Each structure stands twice: as structure tokens, then as C-alpha cells.
Chains A and B, each alone.
Chain A
Amino acid sequence: MIEKTNIIDLAIFGGNKLFVTPKSTSNLLQPDIENFLEYSKTFFEQQQYTNNGPNVKLLENRLAEFHQTRFCVTFSSGFWALAMAIRSLALKGRTEIIMPSLTYRRMADIAAWVNLKPNFCEVEPKSLAMSSATVRPCINENTALILGVHPIVNCCDSEDLVDIARKNNIPILFDSVESVYESISAGKVGGFGDAECFSLHACKLLNGFGGGYLTTNNEDLAIKLASMRSFGFVGVDKVGFPGGMNAKLNEMHAAMTLASLDDLESQVIRNRERYYAYKSLFNSILGIRLLEFDEKYRTGYKNIVVELLDGWPLSREDTIRILNEENILARAYYYPPLHQKPMGYPSVSANLPVTDILAEKYLNLPCGQRVNNNDITTIVEFLSFISLNAKLIAERLRKVETS
């Protein structure tokens, strides 16, 4: 039960914070330390700390098996996995990359690193996912690549996106960072398009201290990227591919990811419990709609996203400020959308009325391994409390601002 009975108890008005430790939207999975140390022993005993070490090899096999793809290539981050994959796949001589605007805040920066202009597309209002219909208006003779990015709850229709890419002879790469565990009707995420990219950041489903990986069924691409992440070397002293850099995953990070992978099935059960706790509690609150996972197919139940409906009595900005002050680190869903941000590099000018509206409505709520059922009850009860007292809160907020 929350101990706030009056609005002056709110942290934003000087009251105690609801949580002593912040409740964030980061997953922060802690795999079993003994298991991590066991994997560490392998590289320690072989005295190989990086450069395609034993854990990296094992991890790549395990992830390829998990995603049911022929190949997996690991990287030091998802960011550089994407950059190198785009660089390898983009049609030469073309200048634009199609990507959603309502997505990861650094996505356009990745395009800038590979000298492509982002051409931002809309997403479907119902699913927040891009589709062939939202991509089609962006396709032109300059399109070098389509970057299919899954939203953080449920997936794009990958088949539909691959279809439009193939019909136009344009390569398609998926950013599936939030869809590690998911399946769609056509199969498991990982095997669609030319390749799919994932992240091993601590905030993601698999915690590798940081890192990333790519899955593909294209052998040439896998060989090329495994070389490019290591300066383009294909043998001793021989550089076989231009465009290399250092984006190798070290052995400690690989060991951590392996330990995280071992825990994955039980993590998903824990995530499901959290999701169901939120779901049952949100039934009773007006003005908030929980984005529901499509349980027809496999899902990781990781992220908790809500839509603030017209009946919600506070602005999203105020809601977030109030929550953050209580140490509930709720965040606006992909805000601002990329096309609204100032960019220090060229992009195709975009008019995205649907995205503009969607960008104001959604909220990520605390999730992950450090949020328990009691926390969820507290968070939802708190939302209920501020909803019931919204008028007074809004008045006091304005009063505080003007004084």
C-alpha cells in the first residue's frame, strides 16, 4: 500500500520518495555468478581474452541455434553491429536509408556514420510498427536499404516488410533489439530479411555487460562482418575487406551473455508474472491502456508500455515528472521522434503527422529484474492516486511554477 494520502505527500511537492532505490525501465538481468565464473574459467585457462575466443565461438553457436539461423556474429555493441551491417548491405551509389522516426534515439546517428540520409517513415497507429504501407511512400531511386525496426511491444510483420523490399530489389536489415525472444506467424525473429541485429546492453533481455550480435542465413555476409569487426583481417597480415574497425566482443562479455542465455527461459517466466501483475491492476484504472503482448506466439514479456488515453487527467510530461520524483523512472516512449530532433547531418525532410501524435501518448513503465510484484502494486496504486487527485495536483504544479 502506498502511504500517500494527501498531494503534499508527493515527492514533487517535497514528500518522501515512494521508492528508496530507483525503479527503472532497464532489464538489468543478473545471471548466476557461479555460472558466469564457470564460463570465465574457459578463457582464463586458455589465456585467450578476446579475438574470437572460446566463449565468443560458443556464444555465436548458441545464439544461431536459438534464433534458428545458420550464422551469428557478435560485436562490441549493437550500434556498431548495425553500422557495419548497413555498410555491407546498402546498395552502392544510393544515398538514403528508410527507418521509422518513432524509434531508438541514436538510430539516425548510425546512418550518419555510414553516410546515408535517413528517410523517416510512419508507423501503424495500432501496433506502433512500420509496415509495407508506411514504408512504400519512402521508397525511391535513392533508397539504399530498409531498416526494419521492431517496436518494443510485439513485432513488425517481418514478412510484409521483406516482401516490399524484395519487390523493389532493396536490401532489408532488421533491428530486433527488443525482440530477442519473439516469434511471429512466419517463424522466429532472427531469420528474416538479409540479417537481424540485437543488443547485449545491460538494459536488454540478454545482459552481456554491453555488446551486440547479428543473425543471418547469408554466409558471405557473416564471413565479411566477422572480418570487418576485426579490422577486415582474413588471415595473418591480410586485410580482405575494406571498412574494418575494432568491434570485437571480449571473452568476459561473452561469458556474461552465455550465463544470461542459460537463465533466459526462467527470466521469461518472471517477466510474464510482472506483465500479468500490471495487466490485472490496470483493469481498474481509467485513462490508461496497457499495450498487450500478442500471446499467440512466443514473447519475452519484457517491456511495459502504456497509452495515456483522453480520459487520463494529467499531461504526459507532468505524469513523468511526478513519477520520476518518486523514483519511478518512467520514460516517454521514443520521445522526441527522430524527425523532430536537430541533426548535425543531412536527412530527407519528413512530414509525419501520425508519428507526431503517437509520440505524445505512450509511456514506458518500470520493468525488468529489479521490479517485483509489490513494486508493481505500489506503482499502479500510485498512478491511481494521482489520477484521482489530478485536479489538485495540476493546480499546485502551476502554482509552484509561477511562484
Chain B
Amino acid sequence: MTKGETQFAILGAKPKFDAPIPIGQLYFPSWKRYEAAFRGIFERQYYTNNGPLLTEFENKLQQFFGVKHAICVSSATLGLMMAVDAMGLSGKVILPSFTFIASAQSLSWAGIEPIFCDVDSVTHQISIDKLDALIDDQVTGIMGVNLWGGACDPLALERYAHSRGLKLYFDSAHAFGCTVGDIKIANFGSLEVFSFHATKILSATEGGCICTNDDGIAARLRSIRPSYGSANSITIPKVANSRMSEAQAAIGLLSLDDFPLNCQKNETLFRKYEEKLSAIPGVKLVKPKGVTSSNFQYVVCEINEDVYGISRDSLIAVLKAENVIARRYFYPGVHHSIEYQTNSLGNAEKLPITDSLCKSCIQLPIGAMVDSNIVEVICDTIDKSHRDLALLKAYFKEIDQ
């Protein structure tokens, strides 16, 4: 086939999109609202350190979550690092390896050895039945990770942790606004940490917050953050500068106002993906599980190469040529990264489901830069890649050689 006849940019056709379609979420207020917010900050001349916007943001978050304390920080990673001293963890902490690397890095920075647990093949969430085998007398806690707008069964984890005398907390970077029963994620375990990075549904460009119903933990967290002035009366081992500025709080507040709309938009797009992808053999969309409501901030699919025809990595290359920034997420798995592959923990080979998911999962764009037509084009490309297998297979075979 000559260049002119192909439909695929990877084979020489014009890309379907002129500019890259990013993975998401990238919601941001209008220029008018941005300008007004910053004129306010410049008028007040209050820039950081528990400012008026930060206080308002924390109050509104507490109401939103129905939680006693929401403590904003400059990033979720720092929030997780602070959690270690605030909760008094030591030795080892168990967490899934099928997570973003920051979950594990927060432990390493805090002097804790991460112990990786495998996940469930259907929900992608931590396998509670595999925890027993990982517990020794140095393990002091479990970090649950709520993935993909779903939940890792926090109630069952709470019962389990309690029965083993372990502390429990959550990396809920993906879970802003999600609900289990009628309880918002934020209220489980000793504390939960959320991300307000630009790629999340609630954005402060960078930032995060720690939620807890425990007054003692909250007081320690506020001293670790810390603030200037006399409020730091609690004794803590060391501070971890991580204040959220008025600029970040301003964007966070506007983003919180927009949350219902953005969440609705995500759901509409997600449903469109669901409808379009369900008919394509070998493509399985991962639906948010374990929650009564989700933020739908991630579109993650498992690609079964044997059924679909080309590999996950080949599909990413096809989409990338069309200017669709699909990603391997997570890849290669935290336990295979340079930081942890030589870890003494010795269970890296025992995570078969994590390894299999790291090879098969693809993340597709959703959020501010995506609309229904874009979803349609993306899904059509995925569909055609399956139908025109021979063409693409020949191409990938050639570049392999």
C-alpha cells in the first residue's frame, strides 16, 4: 500500500489531530477567574503560610469530604512522607507495587522499607489475601492505594489491619470525590493523602492534602508542615517544609467549585469510551470498582495481545503517531524501577499479576482537552488497528527487524 492510501499516521497518513491530546485532566479556570483571584491575592499581599485562601480551601475541603481535618500541602508525595512521622511508622510498610512510584519513594525518604504486595487481576487493587505472607515483626503499617477512581476496599483493609495490630493509611491520589457507601474516601484508616496535581480532577497545579479524623495526627501534621509563628507547640521529630501557597489555594478553590461539572464531563466521556470500546475484541476497559460514585479521571484498558492482534506498546505507537498521547501506566512496575529492583525485600518476583498488568495496561486521554468527538476518533483508531491487523503487523515486524 502506498502512503496516500493508508489511514494510519504511523504508516504515513496525516495525523488525526494537529496538536497532541494529553492524557488529562488539566482542568483550569478561565483567564477571567484566574486574573480576579490573583488581583485579590496582590491586594491582600498575603502569599503563603496559612493565608486566608488556604484557610478557606481547607474549610471547604473538610465540608466536602465530611472529615474533621483537611491539611493542604505542596504535593501529595510530601503528604505521604509527612504521614510516616505523624503516624509513628517504622521498619517496613506494605503497599502495592501497582501504583505511582511516589507511593514507595515517600517511604524511602522517610527511612521505611517498602514491601510490595500483588494486586487483584480484576479490580487492580491490593490483594488483601496476600498480605499475611508479607507480614513480619518489622512491618508496622499498610499503605492502601485507591486506584483509577475506584477503591481498594478500605473497610476490609481496616478490619484486616486492626486484626493484625497494624496501622493503616491510604494513598488516595486518584480518588478525590469518590464515595464508598455513603462515606467519602478521606475518612478511612488513620489518614488519606490526595493529589492536586494538574493531571488530577482537583487541581492546584501542584499540591495535595492530608485528611484525618484524628486530632493528634492532625496536630502533628500541622507542626511538620510547619507554619511560622507560635502554632507549632507539638513536639515532632523534624519538619518537612510543604506549605501550600495562596496561589495554589486560589486554583484549588476554583477547581473545587468546578468539580461537579468536571466530574460530569469525565463521566460522559468515560461512558462514551465504554460504549465504543466494548465491541473491540481484546480491549477491556477497567471500570471504577468498589465505589458508589467515581470521579472517572482515568481511562485504563487492558490489551490482550492474543485477541486484539498487536501489542499494547504497538497500539501506543499507533496512537502517538495520531497525536494521541496514550501511556503505559503503570510501567514497568515500581518493583522493577532502578530504585527498587535491587531491594533486599526479595518478593519482587512474586508479583505475577502486577507484572502482567504492567505489560497490558494502556491509559487513554480524558479531561479538559478531550471531547466526545475526540473519544470517537481515538476509539475508531483502536478499532481500525484491530481490523487492519495485517498492515500494522507487517509494519511492526519490519521495524523489529
Contacts and interface: CB of A to CB of B under 8 A. Distances in A.
Contacts of B28: 44, 47, 49
A109 interface: yes
Nearest to A203: B228
A212 to B, nearest CB: 9
Interface residues of B, number: 53
Interface in B221-266: 235-243, 245-248, 251
A106 B238 CA distance: 8
B380 interface: no
Contacts of A109: 238-240
Interface string A340-364: 0000110000000000000000000
Contact of A210 (B39, B205, B243, B331): B243
Interface stretch (B75-83, B183-191, B382-390): B75-83
B339 A210 contact: no
Given A112-B237, A244-B105, A50 B198 contact: yes
A246 B338 contact: no
A250 B206 contact: yes
Contacts of A30: 42, 45
A243 B38 contact: no
A202 B109 contact: no
Contacts of B123: none
B47 A245 contact: no
B101 A40 contact: no
A80 B235 CA distance: 21
B205 A37 contact: no
B35 interface: yes
Contact of A44 (B31, B102, B242, B246): B31
Contact of B339 (A243, A246, A344): A243
Contacts of B49: 202
A47 B239 CA distance: 34
Contacts of B339: 232, 239, 242-244
Given A47-B28, A79-B241, A246-B102, A210 B338 contact: no
Given A112-B238, A113-B109, A209-B48, A77 B35 contact: no
B348 to A, nearest CB: 15
Contacts of B78: 245-246
Contacts of A79: 240-241
B39 A33 contact: yes
Nearest to B328: A237
Contacts, number: 134
B337 interface: yes
Contact of B241 (A49, A77, A245, A252): A77
A28 interface: yes
B367 to A, nearest CB: 11
Nearest to B43: A33
B245 A246 contact: no
Nearest to A236: B327
A245 B105 contact: yes
Interface in A19-57: 28, 30, 33, 36-37, 40-41, 44, 47, 49-51
A18 B102 CA distance: 50
Contact of A246 (B76, B251, B331): B76
A37 B77 contact: no
A339 interface: no
Contact of A76 (B75, B105, B338): B75
A209 B207 CA distance: 13
B111 to A, nearest CB: 7
Interface string A62-79: 000000000000001111
A370 B247 CA distance: 20
A344 B246 contact: no
Contacts of A345: 237-238
B48 A201 contact: yes
Contacts of B197: 50, 246
Given A44-B28, A252-B205, A252-B251, A209 B246 contact: yes
Nearest to B76: A246
Interface in B302-352: 327-328, 331-332, 337-339
A248 interface: yes
A49 B198 CA distance: 7
B102 A245 contact: yes
B75 A239 contact: no
Interface in A117-151: none
Contacts of B251: 252
Given A50-B205, A50-B206, A253 B39 contact: no
Contact of B47 (A28, A51, A77): A28
A344 B237 contact: yes
In this complex, the member of A30, A202, A210, A370 whose beta carbon has the largest number of chain B beta carbons within 10 angstroms is A210
A209 B369 contact: no
A49 B3 CA distance: 38
A299 interface: no
Nearest to B39: A33
A240 interface: yes
A117 B183 CA distance: 44
A13 interface: no
B303 to A, nearest CB: 16
Interface string A204-215: 000101100000
A237 to B, nearest CB: 5
Contacts of A231: 77, 101-102, 105
B240 A246 contact: no
B242 A77 contact: yes
Given A49-B28, A240-B338, A344-B238, A246 B75 contact: yes
Contact of B247 (A47, A113, A256): A256
Interface in A233-275: 236-237, 239-248, 250-253, 256
Given A49-B203, A77-B242, 6 more contacts: A37-B38, A79-B241, A210-B47, A210-B245, A240-B338, A245-B105
12 contacts: A28-B45, A33-B38, A44-B31, A47-B28, A50-B205, A106-B239, A210-B74, A210-B245, A231-B105, A242-B108, A245-B102, A250-B205
The 5 A-B residue pairs whose C-beta atoms are closest, nearest first, are A344-B237, A79-B241, A202-B47, A109-B238, A246-B77
